[in-house]
Chain A
Amino acid sequence: MSRYLVKRVIYMLITLFIIAAFTFFLMKLLPGSPFRNQDKLTPQQVHALNEKYGLNDPVPVQFVHYMGKLVQGDLGLTFQFDGRTVTSMIKDGIGPSATLGVEAIIFGVIVGLILGVAAALKHNSAIDYGAMVFAVFGAAIPSFVFAGLLQYYIGVKLEWLPVAFWEGPKYHVLPALALSVGIIAQIARFMRNEMLDTLGQDYMITARAKGISKGRTIFVHAIRNSLIPIITILGPMVVNVITGSLVIENIFAIPGIGEQFVKSINVNDYPMIMGTTLFYSALLIFSMLIVDILYGVVDPRIRVAGGKSK
């Protein structure tokens, strides 16, 4: 196992390097300059500014410079805000984003699993239909609609919870709810399907026949054997949610990092594009590793680590 892990870490670094290189060269193809005032600058002025930031050098040279600094842990300065490092921007923004993301994931997974399992156990009952209707709408309706409706009806009309901002626990409720709708929908839908499948398997009947209680068969065998798709979708989902959502953070005025994944690209903030990409990719690749390891934990017959299949 440990040899496998070492191997995976080496792969991780190679993959990250390839992502960094591709992103770097692709983003340099984006038209325009990173300067805020570009519409009023003349090409000569843009050229002079580019000179100052080393943006007139050939792209491979710039890439080598960038990688050299990256190895020393220096992600550079953002172009959007004077004197702020990319590292500090990510560090400041990830706090609220990750907090919100973790809350939404925990809530979403618990509710999703309960709904999914309940729907499967009470197949074709009102619970089943209710859960699946919720899941269908959760998938069909984009999160900005939920966020907007929650904000208006619960924040403005009923005044039960704050409309926006990030100042304490009660400020987390609405954005976390809005963010969790999609999670609940997916988890519930996949869980129900897998549970139905598992409940029909021969070993479940065998287990019951051997006198194991119904509750035990469900919790020990059925749920555990239904977790593979859940684990698969949870990997990237956790990474996406904790790195923040542009839409939810904008609607609830949360000072997270989510916006930067889009904005940095729109304004050609090169160091920020690289910073967010590397940060996201590292988390993502790590999550993929965890997913592969968890496969083996849930179902010991799966051996991703084992190399050859027989």
Chain B
Amino acid sequence: MSMTEKKLTDDMFQPAAMDPGKHEEITKPSLTYWQDVWRRLKKNKAAITGLVAIILIVIMAFVGPAISSHGFDQQDVRRTNLPPKIPGLEKVHFLGMDGVDIRGNDQYKLKNIPKDQYYWFGTDSLGRDQWTRIWKGTQISLLIAFLAAAGDLIIGVTYGGISGFFGGKVDNIMQRFVEILYGIPNLVIIILFILIFEPGILSITLAIVITGWIGMSRLVRGQILKLKGQEFILASRTLGASNGRLIMKHLVPNTLGIVIISMTFSIPGAIFFEAFLSFIGLGIQPPTASLGALISDGFKQLRIYPHLAIYPSVVMCILMVSFNLIGDGLRDALDPKMRK
């Protein structure tokens, strides 16, 4: 290589002029933790895709019902169980959006629906527009998802964090309390709720709050038990960090991975739990129906009216995939170790 042939001379090695006052200066632009998180999240294409999808779904949840010409409780027994029909797409038959049911009958023709009437996602057994109902239901399920996530984060993480960090007697009492909550049958408490409370969002929230956070608290506790014996905590403690600082700055950030994963399980759990609550009379008032309830109801008729289950399921799946993409992205972005 030509490199070797180059002569090295002493004058090539002059000490650089250095300002002693700038010894400690960091040349990278200073970013706060959250700016850094956002910067990293922006770079994560998958997470951004998820974020865009969720924003789109949120927009649709509010705009969707308005752009359909049918009201969400507009019933018509002459128009029940119509398959989906979308203008334009109706000409592409294999998409299944041409108003033809799975037996090959054009239900719109059979039921004498005027040519200009379209039910984009079909109708249900009461003749209501499924499109409108799905987006209305999405509103509710999004709210439930938010409530479940909040409950998990606020109660679950705090409870597990305290229990694991202090250990000993505190842990003993707190964990016995968890066992008691686990042990008493949920359904008994929920039925008692039905007696006391009016059905609605408040009752759902309470029902979710009773036990929804336990799994999360156990996971966080386990993780903190493991972390608090590790060297960096000892180091931090030696440097005089307070308990609060240890928990908030060192322990909790290191449990974020499992916290986020746990949430991606508790959110769909809560959405279907709400469907069950509505079913037994504690959830939201009929005729409003959540996404979870639409899927549970629709699944029973999957073989005869597949559109009733498939469209809400697709919305649900997109939601869940997006939550997971954002969750993974957030985890990477929040993890200080991933900083490059």
Q: Mark A222-241, 1 if CB is under 8 A from B, else 0.
A: 00000011011101100000
Chain A residue, CB-CB nearest to B231? A202
Complex CA distance for A302 and B172, rounded to whole angstroms: 15
Contact size range, A: 35 or more
Stretch at the interface among A80-88, A139-147, A159-167: A139-147
Known: A145-B299, A193-B257. A261 touches B185 (CB 8 A): yes
Please pick, from B187, B195, B272, the residue contacting A31 in the complex, using a CB distance under 8 A: B195
Complex CA distance for A27 and B168, rounded to whole angstroms: 34
Q: Mark B93-115, 1 if CB is under 8 A from A, else 0.
A: 00000000000000000000000
Please pick, from B183, B191, B222, B331, the residue contacting A285 in the complex, using a CB distance under 8 A: B183
Instruction: Evaluate contact between A19 and B172: CB separation under 8 angstroms.
Output: no
Please pick, from A14, A140, A148, the residue contacting B316 in the complex, using a CB distance under 8 A: A140
Complex CA distance for A276 and B337, rounded to whole angstroms: 47
Instruction: Evaluate contact between A236 and B195: CB separation under 8 angstroms.
Output: no
Instruction: Evaluate contact between B226 and A15: CB separation under 8 angstroms.
Output: no
Instruction: Evaluate contact between A186 and B265: CB separation under 8 angstroms.
Output: yes
Instruction: Evaluate contact between A26 and B187: CB separation under 8 angstroms.
Output: no
Instruction: Evaluate contact between A273 and B180: CB separation under 8 angstroms.
Output: no
Chain A residue, CB-CB nearest to B229? A301
Known: A22-B180, A229-B223. A139 touches B185 (CB 8 A): no
A284 at the interface (CB under 8 A from B): yes
Instruction: Evaluate contact between B261 and A189: CB separation under 8 angstroms.
Output: yes
Known: A139-B264, A265-B191, A304-B171. A232 touches B183 (CB 8 A): no
Chain A residue, CB-CB nearest to B269? A139
Complex CA distance for A29 and B320, rounded to whole angstroms: 38
Instruction: Evaluate contact between A299 and B187: CB separation under 8 angstroms.
Output: no
Kindly list chain A residues whose C-beta atoms are within 8 Å of the C-beta of B127. Answer: none
Known: A18-B180, A281-B182. A140 touches B189 (CB 8 A): no
B302 at the interface (CB under 8 A from A): yes
Instruction: Evaluate contact between B320 and A309: CB separation under 8 angstroms.
Output: no
Kindly list chain B residues whose C-beta atoms are within 8 Å of the C-beta of A302. Answer: 225-226, 229
Known: A262-B187, A277-B185. A193 touches B258 (CB 8 A): yes
A30 at the interface (CB under 8 A from B): yes
Instruction: Evaluate contact between A309 and B167: CB separation under 8 angstroms.
Output: yes
Complex CA distance for A136 and B189, rounded to whole angstroms: 30
Kindly list chain B residues whose C-beta atoms are within 8 Å of the C-beta of A295. Answer: 222, 225-226
Most buried by B among A26, A232, A281, A299: A232
10 smallest CB-CB distances across A and B, nearest first, come from: A281-B183, A301-B229, A140-B320, A19-B183, A309-B167, A232-B222, A193-B257, A140-B268, A265-B187, A308-B168
- Supply 20 A–B pairs (Cβ within 8 Å), ascending by A: A15-B180, A23-B184, A29-B192, A186-B265, A193-B331, A228-B222, A229-B222, A233-B219, A235-B218, A236-B182, A276-B185, A285-B183, A299-B229, A301-B230, A304-B171, A307-B169, A308-B168, A309-B167, A309-B168, A309-B228
